[in-house]
Each structure stands twice: as C-alpha cells, then as structure tokens.
Amino acid sequence: MSDNASWFYGERLPEIAREHNCSLKEAERIFRDEKDMSTPEETKYEEVEIELEKEVLHNLMLMAHERDISLNKLIGIALEDQIKQFEYKFEHGPSPQFLAENK
C-alpha cells in the first residue's frame, strides 16, 4: 500500500467514522459521496480560432491581468455571456416586454 493509502485508511478514514459516528465502511462511502459532490461536472470545451485587433487584444490582456485570470479564461467567460444573451433573445424576442395588469 502506498503512503497515501496508508494515511487514508490508517488516519483519515477513522477520523471520518468518528465525525459521523459510523463504521469504517460507511465512512468510506461518505467520503466518496462528498468527493463526488465537490467535483464539478466536466465542462466540454471546443477549440475556436478568433481574430482580434491588436488594440482589442491588448485591452483584453489588461482586463485578464486585473482579474488575475488567464486570457483564455476571460475570453471563455465573455463568449459564454454572449451565448446566454443570444439564447435569451432567441427565447424572448429582441426587445424587452413589460407586463401590465388590466383591471
């Protein structure tokens, strides 16, 4: 058994069992369930090629630096936002609608 496995089964698993007042087998199931819940669903990514003017690219690089994220992540966020906006417009029309109650 590796050092990690020895640590897990020797120390961590009994600790989880004490926390939940259960058997080691039940503690292992709890650990696996918590691990599955904490792992986000894998997002599928597609590679896309976009052309940007140098000035726009420079501004995006500065924005990414200010947010302390990568340029790819910033562009991904921007693309996701635009897709959501277009989906909303597709479902609800191009102009906002106001609801009015008639008496």
Residue 25 and residue 59 share a domain: no
Q: Give the domain range for residue 8.
A: 3-38
Residue 56 and residue 32 share a domain: no
Residues 1-52: pLDDT tens digits? 567 778 778 888 888 888 888 888 888 888 777 655 544 556 677 788 889 8
Taking the whole predicted model, whether its pTM rises above 0.75 is answered as: no
Residue 70 and residue 53 share a domain: yes
Positive or negative CA dihedral for 52, 53, 59, 65? positive
Residue 93 and residue 64 share a domain: yes
Residue 33 and residue 62 share a domain: no
DSSP characters over 30-82: HHHHHHHHHSPPPPP---------HHHHHHHHHHHHHHTS-HHHHHHHHHHHH
Residue 53 and residue 102 share a domain: yes
Residue 74 and residue 26 share a domain: no
Residue 96 and residue 58 share a domain: yes
Residues 48-93: pLDDT tens digits? 888 989 999 999 999 988 888 888 888 888 888 888 888 777 676 6
Structural domains counted in the chain: 2
Residue 29 and residue 76 share a domain: no
